Amino acid sequence: MGFTMNEDPEGAQLIQDIARPQFRRILINLVLPGFPPLCVLFQLFRLASLVMFSMFLFDCILYHDTTSVDCTYFTVYNTPPCDPYCWKTVWLVCSILTSTVFICLLNRTMLPELRPVRNKVVLKSLIRMPYFWSLNTTTALAVLYDALIMIQNKKAKISIECLEIVSKPWTLCLLYQLNFTFPPCTQRGFRRISRAAYCITLSIYVLDNLSRFAADTAQVAFKFYTINRDLPKPLTIINLMLMIINASVYYNFMQFFWKKLFRDDKEILKVFKQKFVDSKGIKEFVQNGNQE
């Protein structure tokens, strides 16, 4: 068939290590070559579910002054047997599955060309970074917000809101994985379909978090004018503060996936802080002996 080991790093090169268990080598050889086309199809379905859910979300916020937790007057579309809450469930399940698969796939065992170091090394690096603790804190507060909304709202569908809660830390874990992973676009031998699957997946993550950020921003704006007087005032303020944090989490996720599309192998999360004496203009002034 003219197939060589160097032509398909997604399958053939990954089983060169004879020290790996036989079952794992067979699994990698079987799954990875067919994974990119399936990923593209699955992501297109995920995009369709995102569109359906976003229509439901924005209609509830803009026209019914409710959220996707307790909206009961939505009439934009009717797609039996899947109602708007069904589409929300499908979207959440697709997002969680995507994050789970990529978290499992992006490691040194499965794709050493894209992940040169082990997860243990990545974790040791992460715990020394300020952004690791700040992102964890804001995500935890966003999860707290989702839990409070679920508890306060008697109409909330518990199973769906639990999926909402799980999706945030799962996306955060994927974000940490991608931050230390080379994209297939920069590595030789990866097929175009693999590069397309990578770019499509990240693009849908961008759209996903953009829609949620826009929805939460609109909801915050409405809250400033329509405070819920049925709740005690301190609780209303806490809800509003957590809602703003929730929007910031989606914004941070959106920014990361957007930048990862273009900055390839750069560490997106790290914010480089140079010494002020190295700033352009000041550096030349210092080097010239403070001569004006």
In this structure, of 3-7, 166-170, 279-283, the range with the lowest mean pLDDT score is 3-7
pLDDT tens by residue, 101-150: 999 888 777 777 788 888 888 888 888 888 899 999 999 999 999 998 88
What's the pLDDT at 20? 46
In this structure, of 17-31, 62-76, 78-92, 264-278, the range with the lowest mean pLDDT score is 17-31
What's the pLDDT at 236? 73
pLDDT surpassing 50 at residue 183:
yes
Pick the more confident residue, 208 or 228.
Answer: 208
pLDDT tens by residue, 87-99: 999 999 999 999 9
Report the percent of the chain where pLDDT is more than 70: 75
- Rg of the chain taking only CA atoms, in angstroms: 23
pTM for the complete prediction? 0.80
Pick the more confident residue, 238 or 216.
Answer: 216
pLDDT surpassing 60 at residue 79:
yes
pLDDT tens by residue, 33-73: 778 889 999 999 999 999 999 999 999 888 887 888 888 88
pLDDT surpassing 90 at residue 190:
no
| Domain residue extents for the chain | 13-263
pLDDT tens by residue, 156-166: 888 999 999 99
What's the pLDDT at 47? 96
What's the pLDDT at 19? 44
pLDDT band at 206 (very low <50, low <70, confident <90, very high): very high
Pick the more confident residue, 9 or 238.
Answer: 238
pLDDT band at 17 (very low <50, low <70, confident <90, very high): very low
In this structure, of 11-15, 242-246, 258-262, the range with the lowest mean pLDDT score is 11-15
Report the percent of the chain where pLDDT is more than 90: 34
